[in-house]
Structure 1
Amino acid sequence: MFPSLLRFLFRSVCRFLRPLVMVSIPALAGAATAAPDAVERGRYLVTAGNCASCHTAVAGAFMAGGVAFETPFGTLYSTNITPDPATGIGSWSEADFRAAMRHGVRPDGEHLYPAFPYTAYTRLTDDDLAAIWAYLRAVPPVASAPPQNALAFPFDQRPLLAAWKLLYHEPGPLEPDPGRSDAWNRGAYLVEALGHCSACHSPRNRLGAEQAELRHAGGEYLDRVPGGDFRPWYAPNLTAHPRGLALWDHADLVDYLATGRNAFLEAFGPMNEVIMNSTRYLDAADIDAMATYLKALPEAGGGAAAEAPGEELMGRGRSLYNLHCGTCHLPSGEGDPEMAPRLNRGSLVVQAENPASLINVVLYGPEVAGADPARQWLKPMKAYRYLLDDEEVAAVATYIRNAWDNTAGVVSPARVERQRLVSAGGR
């Protein structure tokens, strides 16, 4: 009874305080004037921002929302951003839209959860916000209300986000760096504002905010694996760390963003949507700019030195690798160009501080993006979820992460078990 009473009192206080914690949005001096081709320009910007991936459910209407996001705090669902007046943003004004993008506030004054990356979109220019608004107004309206969020108490209390924003949200456009090249500045805008890459590639604190000192140094988050269940994934380190983007040169990164494949890797898992719905459609100059900016990021993260595996564990892993993996990836880890990617030094997934994504590939298969049909593997890798037990998966993953000059550390059976079992937001 006491927890129920506490919950009632807390919610009553929040309702009382709600008018006091609304963000005050400054009045606009006037909406930016959209160019005649604003809708087409907005389409390109929305593509660069990968909006469709988060706002279009499987088998759902374009931009009609309803995509589930599992978080440590519960389940959130993306909103309908078509111009339907009842269930979408059709009743919004352009000022309402700017308030959502800059300040994370709905037209009714309620705070938006930062699963919607307004912490990045706030950095967009006024002209680009106007173009995005023009495009979204041209999307066919769809009457579709997403499911209600299912967040644990007290995270279901939106007024608390006012304090969160005071700590972690700094609104305003991204200012160019006059000491940098045009390509670097354009890349910074695409990566930090439109592309919001840090949302996945940065670790977060206990309140769900990105850790600024480890920005782009790699981050764990929950997303779906083949079959539909949610499991932890790890977005690799994008800084100049020796186990991050230092492993790739500029051309490798350009190839990956443009086609989903380079000499080391083919996109799989959550990156599929980024490649298929966004980066492959970008102008070559913009992809080059993104690579320019990312390759200039200073080294960050990496943690403690990886634990070296023992001879017995490496021997067992080698036997399992040669039996199940060696035909396609080759005993040398070089990979057959027609069969499988290389696993020796140069794979960000293999070298990652956190082995979650590598374990997911072994357990559930890669489910590759297929952005370039002319450059596909001859046969997709099968899932080993029911063929290998936790100790065997741990052994083969450990071997891959430490053979051929890789130095990524040991994978424990407990870590593999976690990738099998964690679901529903880790609860």
Structure 2
Amino acid sequence: MTKLNIAGGRRSRVAATWVTLGLTFGVACVTGLSIADSSADSPAASAGDQANSLIERGRYVARAGNCVSCHTAHGGQAFAGGLAFETPFGKIYSTNITPDPDTGIGKWTEEQFARAVREGVRPDGAHLYPAFPYTAYTKLTDEDVSALYAYLKVVKPVNNTTPENEMSFPANQRWALGIWKTMFFDEGRFKENPAQSPEWNRGAYLTEALGHCSACHSPRNFMGAEKSSMAYTGGELNDKVMTGEVKQWSAPNLTNAKNGLAAWSVEELAAYLKTGRNEFVETHGPMNEVILNSTRHLTDEDTMAMATYLKSLPANEGKVGKPASAEALKAGESHYNLHCGTCHQPSGLGALSEDAGANLVGNPLVQASNPASLINVILYGPHLAKLPGPKRWKDMPNNFGEKLSDEEVALIASYMRAAWGNVGGAVTEKQVAQQR
């Protein structure tokens, strides 16, 4: 893949979010994300001309950036903030970005807004916690920032004082974020690559800047910075499972590797971003909010552009552990055939039928470097979104966690990750127990 040309030049350090002074703030540790109502981000009735092109562009930018998911508390009003981000060093609450003058951004100038979005600095000069992805939004164009500001100034104002962050020392010292920025943040706009097509460049902008996809889909070093050599090979995040409890999930590999998107065409990937479904998968888990609140609202051209860019990412299997022993795989095959083979078939290929299960062969989730998501699906079911249109596959039971022991789940998962040409390491009982 041709690297993006970002002003400042240290792209490997850009978007190293959720850390400060070497203390990881829990990559994408968002809990209680809600699916926004389709009208939740509509401008206030008093806004006047809703056909205003700048406001409409801003609405589109807000959707592409998925602003509503993080700035809306579960059961709260759109953009009013208060969503909790659970981190190892305390709790961060998202801010109110409605135009309320007292508790929101109603008194902010466009210049102050732009500085917050692209530099992570509040109007009072304090640094924002990089749980807000200004490390990606720094690449936004002037036009998109201006449009986003215009749009947020006309959404329904909500007087809502969000809770104070509950951070332990030294994470509660905002001045220290200046040191963190010196180490890991480069402010600069997105630059098109003239060697690539306009579609590729549009996809790169949507993926790297507005969509900030690498934030969840890339592993991080001990200081929380994204590992540039392993970009898009998969990451980790926290979200609720069907029980309502917060568990770890693994974001799959998005490169063109065998354990990534190698089997997906550009068209299939675009269909997934647009509808939440394709021939291989149906959205579930933490990706539900991304599809339902963001990418499904994009134009067909933009989802195709993102797919084009993602499919250009060179194959990188990332961290692949050793498969289980031959004895364990044999036992896992027996358990798989007993509990899973009827729907997913002994071949793992499943079938596009409401009486069958999804394809497990070459499935990025099955082969993710961290098996957390696969374990969650086995224990609790896939946590499917409520998508329009007919279902592709039979609903998976959510009681396997009650029927199967940790050892049995580990054996089944290990077998699925190594069978049919899949590339995935062994799963241990301890890993299963951590997801209980």
User: TM-score higher than 0.5 here?
Assistant: yes
How many residues align? The count is 385
Q: Which runs of 4+ in 1 moved over 4 A?
A: none
Please say if residues 71 and 222 of structure 1, whose CA atoms lie closer than 8 Å, have aligned partners that are also in contact.
no
- Which of 211, 234, 247 pairs up with 1:231? 247
What is the CA–CA distance in structure 2 between the aligned matches of 1:385 and 1:215, rounded to whole Å? 33
**1:156 positional shift:** 1.6
The equivalent of 2:337 in structure 1 is 322
Cα deviation, 1:332-380, whole Å, max 9, x if unaligned, reads: 2112322454343221001112111101111121111233322343434
Trace 1:393-412 onto structure 2 (pairs within 5 A): 393-412=409-428
Cα deviation, 1:152-185, whole Å, max 9, x if unaligned, reads: 3211211111011111111121011111100000
Structure 1 counterpart SS, 2:80: coil
What is the CA–CA distance in structure 1 between the aligned matches of 2:394 and 2:401, rounded to whole Å? 22
The equivalent of 1:377 in structure 2 is 393
**1:217 positional shift:** 1.8
Please say if residues 335 and 341 of structure 1, whose CA atoms lie closer than 8 Å, have aligned partners that are also in contact.
yes
Structure 2 counterpart SS, 1:247: coil
What is the CA–CA distance in structure 1 between the aligned matches of 2:361 and 2:338, rounded to whole Å? 21
The yes-or-no answer on 1:274 pairing with 2:284 is no
Structure 2 counterpart SS, 1:375: coil
Cα deviation, 1:38-87, whole Å, max 9, x if unaligned, reads: 11111111111111111112211011111122233332111111111121
The yes-or-no answer on 1:208 pairing with 2:224 is yes
Return closer, same or farther for 1:114/1:155 CA change in 2, 3 Å cut-off.
same
Cα deviation, 1:201-246, whole Å, max 9, x if unaligned, reads: 1112233222223222211122222222222111111122221122
What is the CA–CA distance in structure 2 between the aligned matches of 1:94 and 1:350, rounded to whole Å? 45
- Which of 84, 88, 92 pairs up with 2:104? 88
What is the CA–CA distance in structure 2 between the aligned matches of 1:284 and 1:295, rounded to whole Å? 16
Return closer, same or farther for 1:409/1:301 CA change in 2, 3 Å cut-off.
closer
The equivalent of 1:73 in structure 2 is 89
Please say if residues 118 and 187 of structure 2, whose CA atoms lie closer than 8 Å, have aligned partners that are also in contact.
yes
Trace 1:270-309 onto structure 2 (pairs within 5 A): 270-300=286-316, 302-304=318-320, 306-309=321-324
> Residue type matched to 1:253 in 2?
L
Please say if residues 259 and 275 of structure 1, whose CA atoms lie closer than 8 Å, have aligned partners that are also in contact.
yes
The equivalent of 1:17 in structure 2 is none
- CA-based RMSD: 1.7
Please say if residues 254 and 260 of structure 2, whose CA atoms lie closer than 8 Å, have aligned partners that are also in contact.
yes
The equivalent of 1:123 in structure 2 is 139
- Which of 346, 366, 382 pairs up with 1:366? 382
The yes-or-no answer on 1:133 pairing with 2:127 is no
Please say if residues 70 and 230 of structure 1, whose CA atoms lie closer than 8 Å, have aligned partners that are also in contact.
no
Structure 1 counterpart SS, 2:136: helix
> Residue type matched to 1:364 in 2?
Y
Structure 1 counterpart SS, 2:112: helix
Structure 2 counterpart SS, 1:76: strand
Trace 1:8-407 onto structure 2 (pairs within 5 A): 36-300=52-316, 302-304=318-320, 306-337=321-352, 338-407=354-423
Cα deviation, 1:72-116, whole Å, max 9, x if unaligned, reads: 333211111111112111121111110101100111111111110
Return closer, same or farther for 1:163/1:300 CA change in 2, 3 Å cut-off.
farther
**1:287 positional shift:** 0.6
What is the CA–CA distance in structure 1 between the aligned matches of 2:100 and 2:112, rounded to whole Å? 15
What is the CA–CA distance in structure 2 between the aligned matches of 1:42 and 1:145, rounded to whole Å? 24
Moved more, 272-281 or 226-235: 226-235
Moved more, 181-190 or 403-412: 403-412
What is the CA–CA distance in structure 2 between the aligned matches of 1:278 and 1:89, rounded to whole Å? 22
Unaligned segments of structure 2, at least 5 residues: 1-50
What is the CA–CA distance in structure 2 between the aligned matches of 1:213 and 1:317, rounded to whole Å? 33
Return closer, same or farther for 1:310/1:346 CA change in 2, 3 Å cut-off.
same
What is the CA–CA distance in structure 1 between the aligned matches of 2:229 and 2:418, rounded to whole Å? 28
**1:309 positional shift:** 2.2
> Residue type matched to 2:87 in 1?
T
What is the CA–CA distance in structure 1 between the aligned matches of 2:357 and 2:178, rounded to whole Å? 46
Please say if residues 77 and 147 of structure 1, whose CA atoms lie closer than 8 Å, have aligned partners that are also in contact.
yes
Return closer, same or farther for 1:308/1:168 CA change in 2, 3 Å cut-off.
same
> Residue type matched to 1:67 in 2?
L
> Residue type matched to 1:236 in 2?
P
What is the CA–CA distance in structure 2 between the aligned matches of 1:241 and 1:329, rounded to whole Å? 23
What is the CA–CA distance in structure 2 between the aligned matches of 1:406 and 1:120, rounded to whole Å? 32
What is the CA–CA distance in structure 2 between the aligned matches of 1:300 and 1:71, rounded to whole Å? 29
> Residue type matched to 1:151 in 2?
M
Cα deviation, 1:229-282, whole Å, max 9, x if unaligned, reads: 222111111122221122322122112111111122111100000011111111
TM-score normalised according to structure 1 size: 0.86
Structure showing greater relative contact order (alpha-carbon pairs closer than 8 Å, 6 or more residues apart): 2
